[in-house]
């Protein structure tokens, strides 16, 4: 049952005003601690209810509380808590008649808001629940109604409050907490220079604000939560520092010490994202594109809302092997630490030897960096299956190849006279692999030397010799979509959807369905 309250507040369409922000500032003056948007929204609701209670008390001035047991006179003004504190005047009194009850009076009351005349029992001899009312709202009742308002309209009120806080020059936020800018702990240039020196000594970081504060010797009477908030706010404003912690954790790093590949997209990963609808592709090609899981296929931002998984398996591609990276997609992001920042530092771990080394989630450009040496040491090839696993230790991601190494007949690519050639040769493959995707690179250095001459050319010009060369390796003279994708991305960075649409438009590539093409020789 909903708690009775004068419904003079339209919670659904509540507008946050300057007076509300002023009330929040006063609340911070009373209790100077950073607050979340939910905490501030609840206080705003409570503040509005208190205003309503004050208005009610003022409107009841000179009116008497109605209780059935009491005696009244004509002309008295009464208020009725059980009728949302409506006010009326006694305009008549008569005797009541009920042999089972005994003598009592009947009041005739005319209400001020609508002029309606109603009757109420008075001098009533039997017990009645209305006799227990004192005309005031206790804290339990106010808290109950606040919870009801929050459950129904709380998130909508929070969104509107956040919009006002973001546009206000008087408030600053760090993470999901807010605080008045004027009440921040003052941190001068000397403090920030000392933070830079401390991070420098620790290899650039990452260090928590708590670790940094131990060097600043701020006044001990300042609450630690306010010290941390003020330091984080100051470091956010200074371009020397980068916040690289995962969700729920603040860690600071010196931007000038971050790897260049974290600050700028490695050239091998640079390409045009897919912006089409995929309508030109059949169901098989759309499914293959989704399984390839290219970050250039993902139009939306990647964030903590993606969800979590204990393990994902990624099919390696040459641009990422060359860049020492892995894609950050809807699938792979379920394993890696995410947060509110664009760059997040963590650690990779190789379970075969226990070695750990730094890794970076570059969320703004959708890749993970830090794997180049590991790729080279494990001789990972395009099409090999790489496993990323969460560990019990936060911020540590295990990386390993799936399955055992084996020797097999596979496609091998080599550079000859400025062109790519392909052969089926026996090679030692370090892991399980996707047979349609594997292309063994015999000489990566020669491929990297050739790449600059092709990176800006058209896909059709590259496909003119790649498709027939690869099709010649199969008895049926066909080539699969995964093979085309891996081969083209040796020299030209392109997401699978864009590539498949391009090849579907090539007159000498006959699409057979189920992800296969056949090259049609000239004159046939």
For the domain spanning 285-401, the CATH number is 2.40.330.10
CB-based burial, 353-376: b 16+ in 10 Å, e otherwise: eeeeebbbbbbebbbbbbbbebbe
Q: Give the C-alpha separation, 32 to 15, whole Å.
A: 25
CA dihedral of 217, 221, 226, 230, whole degrees rounded to 10: -40
Alpha helices in 60-188 (DSSP H): 139-167
Between vectors from CA 217 to CA 215 and to CA 219, what angle results, nearest 5°?
155
Please, are residues 110 and 76 in contact by the beta-carbon 8 Å criterion? no
Q: Give the C-alpha separation, 195 to 185, whole Å.
A: 15
Q: Which two tokens stand for residue 488?
A: 């083209």
pLDDT score at 81: 81
pLDDT score at 13: 82
Per-residue pLDDT of the chain (524 residues; tens, 9 = 90+): 333 344 467 788 888 889 989 999 999 998 889 999 999 999 998 888 888 777 777 777 778 888 888 899 998 888 888 787 788 898 899 988 888 888 888 889 999 888 889 999 888 888 888 887 765 554 444 556 778 888 888 889 899 999 999 999 999 988 889 999 989 998 999 999 999 999 999 999 899 999 999 999 888 889 999 999 999 999 999 999 999 988 778 999 999 999 999 999 999 999 999 988 888 999 999 999 999 999 999 777 776 667 788 999 999 999 999 999 999 999 999 999 987 788 999 999 999 999 999 999 999 899 999 999 999 999 999 999 999 999 998 889 999 999 999 999 999 999 988 889 999 999 999 999 999 999 999 999 999 999 998 888 888 888 888 888 998 898 888 999 999 999 999 999 999 999 999 999 888 888 999 999 988 876 55
pLDDT score at 85: 79
* Among the listed residues 123, 120, 495, the one whose alpha carbon sits nearest the alpha carbon of residue 298: 495
Q: Give the C-alpha separation, 400 to 348, whole Å.
A: 10
Please, are residues 361 and 337 in contact by the beta-carbon 8 Å criterion? yes
- Which of the following CATH numbers is that of domain 184-258: 2.30.30.280, 1.10.10.10, 1.50.10.10, 1.20.120.530? 1.10.10.10
pLDDT score at 3: 37
Domain boundaries, the chain: 11-59+138-178, 68-132, 184-258, 285-401, 410-519
Which top CATH class is 68-132?
mainly beta
Q: At what angle do helices 224-237 and 189-201 cross, to 10 degrees?
A: 90
Residues 6+ apart with CB under 8 A from 188: none
């Amino acid at each position: 049952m909903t708690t009775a309250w004068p419904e003079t507040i339209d919670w659904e369409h509540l507008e946050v005003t300057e007076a509300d922000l002023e009330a929040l500032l006063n609340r911070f003056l009373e209790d100077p601690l950073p607050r979340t948007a939910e905490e501030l929204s609840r206080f705003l609701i409570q503040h509005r209810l208190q205003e309503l209670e004050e208005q009610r008390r003022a409107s009841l001035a000179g009116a008497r509380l109605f209780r059935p047991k009491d005696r009244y006179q004509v002309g008295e003004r009464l208020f009725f808590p059980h009728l949302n504190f409506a006010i009326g005047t006694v305009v008549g009194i008569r005797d009541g008649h009920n042999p089972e009850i005994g003598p009592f009076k009947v009041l005739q009351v005319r209400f001020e808001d609508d002029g309606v005349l109603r009757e109420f029992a008075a001098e009533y001899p039997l017990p009645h629940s209305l006799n227990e009312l004192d005309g005031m709202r206790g804290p339990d009742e106010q808290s109950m109604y606040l919870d009801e308002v929050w459950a129904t309209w709380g998130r909508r009120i929070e969104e509107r409050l956040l919009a006002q806080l973001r546009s206000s020059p008087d408030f600053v936020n760090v993470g999901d907490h807010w605080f008045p800018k004027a009440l921040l702990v003052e941190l001068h240039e000397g403090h920030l220079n000392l933070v830079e020196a401390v991070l420098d000594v620790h290899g650039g970081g990452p260090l928590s604000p708590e670790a940094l504060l131990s060097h600043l010797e701020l006044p001990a009477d300042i609450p630690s939560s306010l010290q941390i908030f003020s330091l984080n706010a100051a470091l956010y404003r200074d371009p020397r520092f980068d916040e690289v912690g995962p969700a729920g954790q603040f860690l600071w790093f010196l931007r000038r010490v971050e790897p260049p590949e974290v600050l700028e997209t490695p050239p091998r990963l640079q390409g045009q994202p897919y912006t089409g609808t995929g309508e030109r592709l059949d169901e098989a090609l759309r499914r293959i594109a989704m399984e390839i899981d290219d970050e250039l296929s993902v139009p939306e931002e990647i964030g903590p809302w993606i969800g979590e998984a204990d393990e994902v398996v990624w099919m390696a591609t040459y641009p990422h092997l060359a860049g020492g990276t892995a894609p950050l997609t809807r699938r792979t992001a379920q394993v890696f630490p995410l947060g509110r920042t664009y760059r997040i530092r963590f650690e990779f771990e190789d379970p075969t030897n226990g070695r750990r080394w730094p890794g970076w989630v570059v969320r703004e450009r959708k890749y993970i960096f830090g794997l180049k040496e590991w790729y080279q040491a494990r001789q990972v090839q395009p099409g090999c299956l790489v496993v990323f696993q969460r560990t019990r230790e936060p911020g540590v991601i295990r990386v390993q190849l799936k399955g055992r190494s084996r020797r097999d007949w596979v496609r091998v690519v080599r550079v000859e006279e400025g062109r790519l050639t392909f052969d089926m040769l026996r090679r030692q493959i370090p892991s399980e692999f996707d047979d349609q995707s594997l292309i063994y690179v015999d000489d990566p250095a020669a491929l990297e030397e050739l790449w600059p001459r092709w990176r800006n050319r058209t896909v059709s010009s590259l496909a003119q010799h790649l498709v027939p060369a690869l099709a010649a390796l199969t008895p049926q003279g066909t080539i699969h979509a995964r093979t085309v994708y891996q081969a083209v991305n040796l020299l030209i960075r392109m997401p699978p959807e864009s590539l498949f649409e391009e090849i579907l438009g090539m007159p000498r590539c006959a699409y057979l369905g189920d992800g296969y093409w056949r090259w049609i020789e000239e004159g046939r």
